Amino acid sequence: MTHYSNSSGQPIGAPQPDWQARSFPEPRVLQGRYCRLEPFNSERHGHDLAAAYLSAPDGSDWTYMFSGPFANEQAYLGYARQLEASRDPQHYAVIDLTTLKAVGTLALMRIVPEHGVMEVGHVAFSPLMKRSRLSTEAHFLLMAFAFDELGYRRYEWKCDSLNAPSGRAALRLGFTFEGTFRQAIVYKGRSRDTQWYSIIDGEWPQVKQGFTRWLAEENFSPEGQQHSALEVLRAG
């Protein structure tokens, strides 16, 4: 690691003489091979999503979310209208290109253009897309938007420290664990310690290479089984 110091001999961060604030993301369609991300629209996406979420056997997918679970379609559609009205978080619907139906959502949030930092959150993937190429590609499309198109420096993931599947997903996708903020949040009547993860711009080329290799058609059998894991392809 290169060390820098000021005229007083104090250690300081790496110089960024050409840094300029980045643009606030303007919602737009992000096209992939297996899915498409569309700016969330309650009328266009709400009914598909309500059906997808209500297909789950119970409400456990919403345990670590700030919202949900939803008892019926009307309850979800009321929530969907709130998503559509939000600028930050900026919500996207995940469209399955096989069925052309919305099957999940995720969002850019805590967007700070002056520092080039944003977070992915409100990840609500229905049973129709879990553990699928769609779920991985949806994250890849949003990351590529942040780093390649908007030029952001840091992309964050945060979750309840007790949500082990979310932590494993972050590591699989290429995030680095940074630490735990104790008693950071109160939600749903309980305390939450929050785990922080990030990808920074210097890591993005290798992370992107892993995604590109994993999502390639030749990485899957005709039955849809992966030949090589994402972590292996990223390390390679």
- The 10s digit of each residue's pLDDT in 18-65 is 999 999 999 999 999 999 999 999 999 999 999 999 999 999 999 999
Alpha carbon distance, N-terminus to C-terminus of the chain: 23
140 close to 211: Cβ distance less than 8 angstroms: yes
Q: What is the per-residue pLDDT across 149-204, written as a single tens digit (0 to 9) for each? A: 999 999 999 999 999 999 999 999 999 999 999 999 999 999 999 999 999 999 99
Q: What percent of the chain lies above the pLDDT cut of 70? A: 100
Q: Which pair of tokens denotes residue 69?
A: 């679970």
Rounded Cα gap, residues 142 and 148, in angstroms:
10
Cα separation, 60 vs 34, whole angstroms: 26
Mean pLDDT in the chain? Answer: 97
* Amino acid (1-letter code) at residue 111: I
Q: What is the band of 130 on the pLDDT scale with cuts at 50, 70, 90?
A: confident
Q: Is 0.85 surpassed by the pTM of this model?
A: yes
Cα distance between residue 163 and residue 155, in whole Å: 20
Give the start-to-end residue ranges of the domains of the chain. 23-235
| CATH fold label, 23-235 | Aminopeptidase (3.40.630)
